[in-house]
Structure 1
Amino acid sequence: MQKFQHKAFNELFDLSGKVAIVTGGANGIGKATAMRLAEAGASIAIADLKLEDAKAAIKDIEALGVKGLAVECNILKDDDLVAMVDQVVTEFGAINILINNAGGGGGGKEDPTKISVDDIRRDFELNVFSGWRLCQLCVPYMKKSGYGSIVFTTSMSSVNKDPNMSGYAGSKAAVNHMVANLAHDFGPEVRINAVGPGATRTHALETVLTPEIEKKMLSHTPIKRLGEADDIAGAMLYFAAPISTWVSGQTIFVNGGGVQTLS
């Protein structure tokens, strides 16, 4: 019978020597995640549309004593994805962790009588196709290294039911199921999971949040506050780190135990 070997607590979260890509990592949940991974010892590449913001975030990361790289990248452009991965491998020599955080869409504004198929297609290009393509590009390097973890940012909208959300919510639901299936393709060396944030205080939420909406959200939330970017980053770190080495194909919702919707 094989004897179970206990690991020291620090080892379970140790990412020293690992290389992580965080898309959309210059601000919000992406930056909080990049910082958490850097604190655990990983070298960080931030791929973002806003290069100057990415460079500023990398300065904060390098202040923690790890290496960083800022790359301008539009996830809707395949050439950008290929070039970004090549740049990371050239700079660091490996890829071990991919945080597919960048995305977007028209959630909350998708009145099906007013939008077009192109609007829905863009939701899927942002949230499904780009992340799938980055998996395809990064997994060979992960398998070569013997350590790989991919984490998608999904959304509570993937399981909620609301008006004017069909494209965005549908694309995030596709992420959940795609992750569950890709786990079978990428194992055993590479794990893939997803984190679904509830209402989290980011710039995007602040543009639509009112005191009335917040009050309603909290009435259905056992932990009586909205989420912070660091709350989501903690779940990202869990999936990225060795502590979750027997976890793959899963979606975890970080939502204070409740359901928060705009309607």
Structure 2
Amino acid sequence: MILDRFRVEGKVAVVTGAGRGIGAATAVALAQAGADVLVSARTEDQLRKVAAEIEAAGRRAVVVPADLSDLSAAAALADRAAAEFGRLDIVVNNVGGALPRAFLDTGYDHLENAFQFNVGIAHALTRAAVPHLLAADGGAVVNISSVMGRVAGRGFLAYGTAKAALAHYTRVAALDLAPRVRVNAIAVGSVATSALDIVMTSDELRSQMEGNTPLGRIGDPEEIAASVLYLASPAGAYVTGKVLEVDGGIDRPQLDLGLPDLRPPAPQESR
């Protein structure tokens, strides 16, 4: 049956940023489709709740609380998964983010930090995972990118640049690792996670975002998780080096941050 292609029975996955939102939904979805899952994020009690859902689906969970901005901690997840479960088949790089800033408030350090957080962590874990993926029956890597890596939004210089880099990293890594390891990404639109708490609690902001989305609503984490499952499972076996846009159809930023145009400095009075 065609639905069997979406099963990942007996596979092992690592999911980062798995304490809540997209990462948590993805970890549970992979477990419900048959995988054992190592989950990692900063907050242990959140991970324990996700692990309980994984175990309720009849699969094994390993909880690794860690600050993954430490690249060695991120890389160590691959060996830990292989040691605990005996193999590694799927990596979901879900760590990322950067606060919006006006152009002149965005220093080099903000760009550097955004790149490391959104690309560096993904590379550290993926690089460490590759020997294990090759030792299995081939593997799949799914990177969580953003629509802001594709569309231009005022205030998103660091974040948009980093997510665009992650999208192209996906294409290049897919070529480097073919044919045994597939690498794809998802360009996520606005999804109802803790990152949008301010929006979800404001009728005005939520209406603005929904009005700028062709499908007229904000996404659900499970919709991203379903897309991850497609790319990680045999259903996506002929897909690599692609960025799947799961964004409600948007082609521009959904929220105007209200940043003004830059103005020339006022002339100084002569004395």
Same fold? TM cut 0.5: yes
User: 3-state DSSP class of the match of 1:127?
Assistant: helix
1:9 aligns to what? 2
Please tell me whether the aligned partners of residues 73 and 84 of structure 1 are also in contact (alpha carbons under 8 angstroms).
no
User: 3-state DSSP class of the match of 1:41?
Assistant: coil
Q: CA deviation at 1:208?
A: 4.1
Please tell me whether the aligned partners of residues 48 and 72 of structure 1 are also in contact (alpha carbons under 8 angstroms).
yes
Question: Which amino acid in the other structure matches residue 171 of structure 1?
Answer: A
Q: Aligned residues: percent identity?
A: 31
1:4 aligns to what? none
Q: CA deviation at 1:214?
A: 2.4
**Change over 3 Å in CA distance of 1:221–1:204 after alignment to 2:** same
1:98 aligns to what? 91
Alignment partner of 1:136 is 2:124: no
- Is there any run of 5+ residues in structure 2 with no aligned partner, and where? 257-271
Alignment partner of 1:54 is 2:47: yes
User: 3-state DSSP class of the match of 1:207?
Assistant: helix
1:232 aligns to what? 224
Q: CA deviation at 1:213?
A: 2.7
**Change over 3 Å in CA distance of 1:160–1:66 after alignment to 2:** same
Residue by residue, what CA displacement relative to the aligned partner does 1:227-255 show, whole Å, maximum 9, x if unpaired?
01111111111101101101000001111
Residue by residue, what CA displacement relative to the aligned partner does 1:161-190 show, whole Å, maximum 9, x if unpaired?
111110110000001111011111111111
TM-score, structure 2 normalization: 0.90
1:203 aligns to what? 194
Alignment partner of 1:74 is 2:67: yes
Moved over 4 A (4+): none
User: 3-state DSSP class of the match of 2:105?
Assistant: coil
Alignment partner of 1:190 is 2:186: no
User: Which of 205, 212, 215 does residue 213 from structure 1 map onto?
Assistant: 205
1:256 aligns to what? 248
User: 3-state DSSP class of the match of 1:113?
Assistant: helix
Alignment partner of 1:157 is 2:148: yes
Across the two proteins, how many residue pairs are aligned to each other?
254
Question: Which amino acid in the other structure matches residue 72 of structure 2?
Answer: D
Please tell me whether the aligned partners of residues 76 and 128 of structure 2 are also in contact (alpha carbons under 8 angstroms).
no
Q: CA deviation at 1:81?
A: 2.0
Question: Which amino acid in the other structure matches residue 177 of structure 1?
Answer: H
1:145 aligns to what? 136
Question: Which amino acid in the other structure matches residue 91 of structure 2?
Answer: L
Output the CA distance in 2 between the equivalents of 1:79 and 1:132: 11
- Is there any run of 5+ residues in structure 1 with no aligned partner, and where? 1-7
